[in-house]
Amino acid sequence: KAGVTQTPRYLIKTRGQQVTLSCSPISGHRSVSWYQQTPGQGLQFLFEYFSETQRNKGNFPGRFSGRQFSNSRSEMNVSTLELGDSALYLCASSSDQLDSYNEQFFGPGTRLTVL
Amino acid sequence: AQSVTQLDSQVPVFEEAPVELRCNYSSSVSVYLFWYVQYPNQGLQLLLKYLSGSTLVKGINGFEAEFNKSQTSFHLRKPSVHISDTAEYFCAVFASGGSYIPTFGRGTSLIVHP
């Protein structure tokens, strides 16, 4: 099976702009989670989508939003970018079966730089 | 709620030396435990996992970890490291029967010197 893919891999934006990141999960996986990774804060959970519904949400401002499509692909949007939004954004998918411990498979990430 | 503490932010070691990366967790329920590795400019890759059974877990690349319930620890070890093991290592805990989201530690940077 193909792994989790994320596009684009690198992105440069300026303050005030908005950005959309895309994630394609492993085929058959219905759960997609997003994480922000920075040197100072480590891996912080943004939100998780399952069957097109946001199931879990981390402690991020409303500028961070996401959605999931019927084919399980997910997008994450950040509006009104701030310098502090510069980070590696990781997407992870899992099968979310009832007897599964929900092992997460990670994509390579999108490196966002805000100038 | 659960939490994970990785006690060392950076561990320098010489090639072919043994290494231990420490991880402690807290949780009021049973947990599943994971170690992930992240190479530069890449995502996280699962090294090994503890779900149940034997407390000594073997993973990829010669790594192993031991689950110690009384000490609430899940330390990662390798008897002889290689330059290519230089990477960031993350411990994660997932509470069984809880939310579907694992909690990650802050990471330990393993630096292997020749």
- The number of C-beta contacts closer than 8 angstroms across A and B is 50
pLDDT band for B97, please (50, 70, 90 cuts).
low
| pLDDT of A99 above 70 | no
Residues of chain B with Cβ-Cβ distance to A105 below 8 Å are 46
Taking only residues 30 to 59 of chain A, the set having a beta carbon closer than 8 angstroms to any beta carbon of chain B reads: 31, 33, 35, 42-43, 45, 48, 50, 55-56
Give A27-66 as a DSSP string: TT--EEEEEEEETTTEEEEEEEEETTEEEEE-S--TTEEE
- Quick check: B100 and A50 CB within 8 A? yes
For residues B29 and B71, the model is more confident at B71
Task: Share the mean pLDDT of chain A.
Answer: 92
Q: Count other Cβ atoms within 10 Å, centred on residue A74.
A: 25
Which whole number is the average pLDDT over B73-102? 88
| pLDDT per residue as tens digits for the range B22-58 | 999 998 788 889 999 999 888 899 999 998 888 899 9
pLDDT (0 to 100) of residue A97: 61
Tokens at residue B86, please?
């230089």
Which of B36, B101, B104 is facing A56, going by the closest CB pair?
Answer: B101
For residues B96 and B45, the model is more confident at B45
- For B109, the closest chain A residue by CA position comes to A39
Which of B32, B51, B100 is facing A96, going by the closest CB pair?
Answer: B100
| pLDDT per residue as tens digits for the range A8-46 | 999 999 999 999 999 999 999 999 999 999 987 888 999
- Best of B39, B94, B100, B106 to disrupt the A interface (most A CBs within 10 Å) is B100
- For A10, the closest chain B residue by CA position comes to B41
Task: Share the mean pLDDT of chain B.
Answer: 91
C-alpha dihedral (A96, A101, A102, A106), degrees to nearest 10: -160
d(CA A68, CA A53): 7
Residues of chain A with Cβ-Cβ distance to B90 below 8 Å are 42-43
pLDDT band for A100, please (50, 70, 90 cuts).
low
Alpha carbon distance, N-terminus to C-terminus of chain A = 37
d(CA B19, CA B12): 9
| pLDDT of B60 above 90 | yes
Q: Count the residues in chain A.
A: 115
pLDDT (0 to 100) of residue A2: 81
